């Protein structure tokens, strides 16, 4: 799973096995270790019964919650992304985007392609 932070937005790209795990187990997570002292950033996507997207930050981690019904529909359909948002400080909005990670056609032997979704022919390349 890849995480991109940009201004007030979170963007996650999930491989095929991660999308499958999210549907089956309701959670997929990654960990970034920052040194021998055990400091780490854990980021996760969880399914929830709530029909709204949400995100939380605390205890060294980022948790994104997506509606279970939307995740199942997205995982089994042709849509490439799920979009949501939540209110943020000062009237701002936090944008949440969860995408299927697509294989890169220009770098066929890239190790990231191993678990990526096939690249649709009508989409721009990576």
Q: Is residue 99 part of a domain?
A: yes
**Nearest to 115, CA basis, from 98, 125, 100:** 100
> In the chain, how many domains are there?
1
Identify the domain containing residue 101 by its residue range.
2-115
Confidence band, pLDDT 50/70/90 cuts, at residue 121? low
**Nearest to 30, CA basis, from 12, 6, 57, 49:** 12
pLDDT tens digits along 88-110? 999 999 999 999 988 775 555 65
**Nearest to 54, CA basis, from 23, 87, 28:** 87
pLDDT tens digits along 45-61? 999 999 999 999 998 89
pTM: 0.84
Q: Is residue 121 part of a domain?
A: no
pLDDT tens digits along 68-87? 999 999 999 989 999 999 99
């Amino acid at each position: 799973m890849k995480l991109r932070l940009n201004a007030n937005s979170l963007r996650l790209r999930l491989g095929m096995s991660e999308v499958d795990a999210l549907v089956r187990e309701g959670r997929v997570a990654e960990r970034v270790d920052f040194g021998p002292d055990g400091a780490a950033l854990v980021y996760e996507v969880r399914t929830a019964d709530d029909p709204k997207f949400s995100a939380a930050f605390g205890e060294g981690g980022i948790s994104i919650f997506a509606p279970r019904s939307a995740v199942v529909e997205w995982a089994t359909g042709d849509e490439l992304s799920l979009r949501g948002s939540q209110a943020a400080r000062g009237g701002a909005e936090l944008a949440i985007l969860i995408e299927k990670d697509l294989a890169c056609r220009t770098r066929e032997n890239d190790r990231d392609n191993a678990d990526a979704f096939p690249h649709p022919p009508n989409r721009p390349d990576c």
